[in-house]
Amino acid sequence: MIKHLRSAADLDAPTATLILDTAGEMAALAGREVKKLPTLRGRTVVNLFYEDSTRTRISFEAAAKRLSADVINFSAKGSSVSKGESLKDTALTLQAMGADAVVIRHPASGAPHRLAAWVDGSVVNAGDGTHEHPTQALLDAYTMRSRLGRIDGLKVAIVGDVLHSRVARSNVLLLTTLGAQVTLVGPPTLIPVDIAAALSPATKVSYDLDSVLPDMDVVMMLRVQTERMQDSFFPSAREYSRRYGLDLARMRKLPEHAIVMHPGPMNRGMEITPEVADSSRSTIVEQVANGVSARMAVLYLLLGGKA
Amino acid sequence: MTSYLLRGVSVLGAESRDLAIVDGLISDKAPADAEIIDAAGLVALPGLVDLHTHLREPGREDAETVETGSRSAALGGYTAVFAMANTSPVADTAGVVEQVWRLGREAGLVDVQPIGAVTVGLAGKQLAELGAMATSAANVRIFSDDGHCVADPRLMRRALEYVKAFDGIIAQHAEEPRLTEGAQMHEGEVSTRLGLTGWPAVAEEAIIARDVLLAEHVGSRLHICHVSTAGSVEVLRQAKARGVRVTAEVTPHHLLLTDELAASYDPVYKVNPPLRTAADVEALRAALVEGVIDIVATDHAPHATEDKECEWAYARPGMVGLETALPVVLSVLGERWDLIAERMSRTPARIAGLTGHGTDLAVGQPANLTLVDPSARRVVDPSELASRSRNTPYAGTTLPGRIVATFLRGEPTVLDGKAVK
């Protein structure tokens, strides 16, 4: 098993499949009355969050607690970090406290890579800047597999602000590793340069959502921050949602079996309309539940549990 | 004053002979009491001249001082360095440039020539007192807001025109600031993969294109700092063919390293302009040989440990380079000694109007020279650097060539590879 999960590129197909299979076993646990395994008893998992992200933090916290690990939540606000402590000094502190795993959310891309050089424990990337969010990709893949029965051969459109999206990068890497065909869709200003060369040569790019939809098994909508307007990535929220938002009319262009995903939090009315978000094709709530199972699987396997 | 006899030295790779230094000058005959230096196997070059050095004093003496930077320069084979203006306070008045100049004289290891800021506080709003700096004891001729681009085209035009009165030259840090907001590394495949905001090549090329036109329009001299892209080379090639009075420099690191190194997220590889692609490196090497790029300049940029031992986005850009410049250039150009002397000594001295440096090692010329052992190989160890900072990108890299001795006006500043003081 790998030691750290810093990037979805750390996962080859067998390892990723093992994590998804393990997540399935963890999900079965959620149906039981006692939702707890003794596996990580006595182990310490630190949630080191430099950004506010309640949903990701509580997902990791629930995952670690269901495995009986001791959980320490370390948030940058109101801590030594707000007093100017460096990441290195924080890392050495966690190291001295005997952290077996550090789950890190950080606004700077690559912070988990730096952290891994300073601690002996496993490092799990819970979102770093505009780089990656590999456990989100795992829970998304798990959701696709649960709904559609496979990942190999699926056609997946990832739509929106790919440039600033750590979710998109991790998904492209993981889904390609598992045999899906990914198409990135968005205005040219929000598609990063050389994306196929950077992530996976098979990745396609389209600027026309309508032409892409009829062929897709999965459409994943990304959150688009309205502030991007100020930087001229697009003219207005209205024009954005007219060209790239998923409404009922567009959803009807999808094949009947296709699902609609969103990593949350959503901008209802911007990239997705409420009717679509709340439709039976939407997996948005499922994704949250699957997040706990996928993160349990990651912690379990990284910390030496046997599948 | 001690006289020296360099026995069996090879001047610029020519057949070995004896070279005497008497009264600070190259001489054809050594007196009987001359100190003899066995220079067999060593190559003599005119002392190197660096048009782009950050000495950090005043303001960041924890990262470098004029003295430690001078020692680093001497150990790298330099006899003159030009200290960039982005100190604290900024070198934008006669007072600050004279202070730096005086500190250089006191250190006495290389000639430290201050560069003056183009604009007050490097703010890009208002011209600094360029004339006062020119007529100060520091005799400033090169002006630069390095670290910042003189982005306002009208201000750039005025600066180019104004310094004609005293044969000054504007050294432009070519970076269109609106195209590089938040930029962390070269914009391309690697920045996309790493999720780091891109610094597009066009942000450099657009400013160079604009400024060669401005320099042509007003008939002024222009120097371009740290050229880093293949596209910039093409803009310069066309401008030079038209007769624009533009010169350009490239750093050793842009001749050797690529943006792939950022994949470690280790900020020791973070620099501005950023490391580019292998294709850019190839174009820069060819341009240096051809002369489209006139000189090598180090952009020696020392930083305190805490400014590099952190997240990539929070780290300061820059690399130390004085002690590794000649070995890197040797590894890139090979033992083309005359070309190396041209690009690292004669031409930089000529661009700066610096007399007494970059001259041939001929009888009667000032004895500013360095002796290199081209057969030596050295593994770069950051802890051995004389610079106060350790941010070298070459840690653990084996580089050819060892600087054995450096003489400044006939006085050794380095002997046996060690600084004399």
What SS3 state is found at A171?
Answer: helix
As annotated, the binding site of B for substrate includes: 54-56, 86, 272, 303, 317-318
Instruction: Kindly give the pairing relationship between strand B222-224 and strand B48-53.
Output: unpaired
**Considering all CA atoms of chain B, what is the largest pairwise distance in Å, rounded to the nearest integer?**
67
Taking the C-alpha atoms of residue B342 and residue B322, their distance in angstroms, rounded to an integer, is 17
> Are A110 and B190 an interchain contact pair (Cβ–Cβ within 8 Å)?
no
Q: Which of A132, A190, A193, A233 to mutate to test the interface with B (most CBs of B within 10 A)?
A: A193
Q: How does DSSP classify residue B382?
A: G
Residue B129 neighbours by CB distance under 10 Å: 15
Q: Would the CB atoms of A132 and B195 count as touching at under 8 Å?
A: yes
**Sign of the torsion formed by the C-alpha atoms of B93, B95, B98 and B102:** negative
pLDDT of residue A76: 77
Is the CB of A130 less than 8 angstroms away from the CB of B197?
Answer: yes
Is B92 an annotated catalytic residue? no
Nearest CA in chain A to B315: A108
Encode burial over B299-321: b for 16+ CB neighbours within 10 A, e otherwise: bbbbbbeebbbbbbbebbbbbbb
For residue B233, what is the enclosing H or E element? helix B230-241
| pLDDT attached to residue A78 | 64
Q: How large is the average pLDDT for residues B107-114?
A: 98
By C-alpha distance, the chain A residue nearest B196 is A109
From the list B2, B32, B38, the residue with the least C-alpha distance to B19 is B38
Asked if A130's CB is within 8 angstroms of B265's CB, the reply is no
Report the percentage of chain A scoring pLDDT > 90. Answer: 87
Query: Hey, how many other C-beta atoms are within 10 angstroms of the C-beta on A35?
Result: 13
Q: Which residues of B touch A88 (CB under 8 A)?
A: 309-310
Q: pLDDT confidence of A35, banded at 50, 70, 90?
A: confident
Partner B contacted by A196 (CB < 8 A): no
pLDDT of residue A53: 87
Domain spans in chain A, listed from the N-terminal domain onward: 8-132+288-303, 134-283
What's the whole-number mean pLDDT along residues B386-415? 98
Contacts of A128 in chain B (CB under 8 A): 195
Q: Which residue has the higher pLDDT, B316 or A33?
A: B316
Is A265 annotated as ligand-binding? yes
Between CA B266 and CA B253 the distance in angstroms is 16
Task: Give the model's confidence band at A82: pLDDT under 50 very low, under 70 low, under 90 confident, else very high.
Answer: low
Residues of B in contact with A131 (CB under 8 A): 194-196
Asked if the Cβ–Cβ distance from A169 to B193 is below 8 Å, we say yes
Q: Which of A128, A129, A193 sits opposite B192 (nearest CB)?
A: A193
Residues of chain B found within 8 Å of residue A198, distances taken between Cβ atoms: 189-190, 192-193
Chain A hits for B311, CB-CB cut-off 8 Å, are 87, 106, 108, 110-111, 114
Indicate whether A11 pLDDT > 90.
Answer: yes
Contacts of A167 in chain B (CB under 8 A): none
The DSSP output letter for B99 is: H
| Distance from the B389 Cα atom to the nearest Cα atom in chain A, whole angstroms | 19
Is residue A17 a known part of a binding site? no
Instruction: Choose among A108, A131, A195: nearest Cβ to B314.
Output: A108
- Whether the predicted model's global pTM rises above the 0.90 cut: yes
Tell me what percent of the residues of chain B surpass a pLDDT of 90.
Answer: 100
State whether B312 and A109 contact (CB < 8 Å). Answer: yes
Burial label for B420, CB within 10 Å (0-12, 13-18, 19+), is: middle
Q: Which member of B299, B307, B338, B416 is catalytic?
A: B299
CB contact under 8 A, B189 and A193: yes
Q: What share of chain A is helix, strand, coil (3-state, %, to 5)?
A: 45, 15, 40
* Confidence band of A52 (pLDDT split at 50, 70, 90): confident
In chain A, what residues touch B265 (CB-CB under 8 Å)? 109-111, 113-114
Is A55 assigned to a binding site?
Answer: yes
The stretches of B108-197 forming alpha helices (DSSP H) are 130-135, 153-162, 189-194
Residue A204: burial class (beta carbons within 10 Å; 0-12, 13-18, 19+): middle
Whether residues B310 and A114 touch (CB distance < 8 A) is answered with yes
Q: Does A195 touch chain B (CB under 8 A)?
A: yes
Distance CA B36, CA B13 (A): 20
pLDDT band at A307 (very low <50, low <70, confident <90, very high): very low
Q: pLDDT tens digits for B208-258?
A: 999 999 999 999 999 999 999 999 999 999 999 999 999 999 999 999 999
Q: Contact, B255 vs B332, CB < 8 A?
A: yes
Find, among B310, B309, B307, B321, the residue nearest to B393 by Cα. Answer: B321
**pLDDT grade for B155, boundaries at 50, 70 and 90:** very high
Give the mean pLDDT of chain B.
98
Contact A108 B194 (CB under 8 A): no
A193 to chain B: nearest residue by CA?
B188
Euclidean distance between CA atoms B341 and B46, whole angstroms: 7
Question: Is it the case that residue A287 has pLDDT exceeding 50?
Answer: yes
Q: Are B1 and B24 in contact (CB under 8 A)?
A: yes
Contact by Cβ (8 Å): A9, A127: no
Which residue bears the tokens 């440990």? Answer: B305
DSSP code, position B86: -
Mean pLDDT, chain A, rounded, equals 94
Residue to substitute from B192, B202, B264, B277, interface A, most A β-carbons within 10 A: B192
Q: Judging by beta carbons within 10 Å of its beta carbon (0-12, 13-18, 19+), is residue B415 exposed, middle or buried? A: middle
Q: What value of ipTM does the predicted structure carry?
A: 0.94
Q: Which amino acid is at A62?
A: A
Contact B197 A198 (CB under 8 A): no
Q: How confident is the model at residue A206 (pLDDT cuts 50, 70, 90)?
A: very high
> For strand B43-46 and strand B369-379, is the pairing parallel, antiparallel, or unpaired?
antiparallel
Distance in angstroms (rounded) separating the CA atoms of residues B44 and B39: 9
**pLDDT over 60 at A306, yes or no:** no
Mean pLDDT value across residues B49-75: 98
Helix axes A284-302 and A54-66, enclosed angle (nearest 10): 50
Q: DSSP string covering B262-286, please?
A: GGG--GGG--SSPP--HHHHHHHHH
Cα–Cα dist B122/B85, whole Å: 8
CA B153 to chain centre: 26
pLDDT at B404 > cutoff 70? yes
pLDDT of amino acid A305: 62
Residues B64-107 have pLDDT tens digits of 999 999 999 999 999 999 999 999 999 999 999 999 999 999 99
Q: For B36, what's the count of Cα atoms within 13 Å in the CB-facing half-sphere?
A: 7
> A8-132+288-303 and A134-283 share one CATH topology?
yes
Token duo for residue A191: 């598609």
A194 touches chain B (CB under 8 A): yes
Do B124 and B92 form a contact (C-beta atoms < 8 A)? Answer: no
Tell me what pLDDT residue A225 has: 84
Read off the pLDDT band of A226 (50, 70, 90): confident
Hey, are the CB atoms on B306 and A192 less than 8 Å from each other? no
Question: What does the pLDDT look like over B4-43, one tens digit per residue?
Answer: 999 999 999 999 999 999 999 999 999 999 999 999 999 9
Q: Has A252 been labeled as part of a binding site?
A: no
CA distance B109 to B47: 12
Rounded to a whole number, what is the distance in Å from the CA of A82 to chain B's nearest CA? 15
CA distance B158 to B169: 12
Q: Which residue of B has its CA nearest to A173?
A: B193
Q: Are strands B398-408 and B369-379 parallel, antiparallel or unpaired?
A: antiparallel
- Residue B310 and residue A195: Cβ atoms within 8 Å? no
Tokens of A104: 């890190």
Q: Are B397 and B357 in contact (CB under 8 A)?
A: no
Which residue from A minimizes the CA distance to B184? A109
Measured between beta carbons, the chain B residues lying within 8 angstroms of A111 are 265, 311
**Does the domain spanning A134-283 belong to CATH 3.40.50.1370?**
yes
Q: In the predicted model, what is the mean pLDDT of residues A172-176?
A: 98
How far apart, in whole angstroms, are the C-alpha atoms of residue A291 and residue A261?
A: 13
C-alpha distance from residue A37 to each of A23, A27, A33, B199 (Å): 13, 12, 12, 48
| CATH number, domain A8-132+288-303, options 3.30.1490.270, 3.40.50.1370, 3.20.20.70, 3.40.50.700 | 3.40.50.1370
pLDDT digits (tens, 9 = 90+) for B124-147: 999 999 999 999 999 999 999 999
The reply to whether A105 sits in an annotated binding site is: yes
Confidence of residue A230 (pLDDT cuts 50, 70, 90): confident
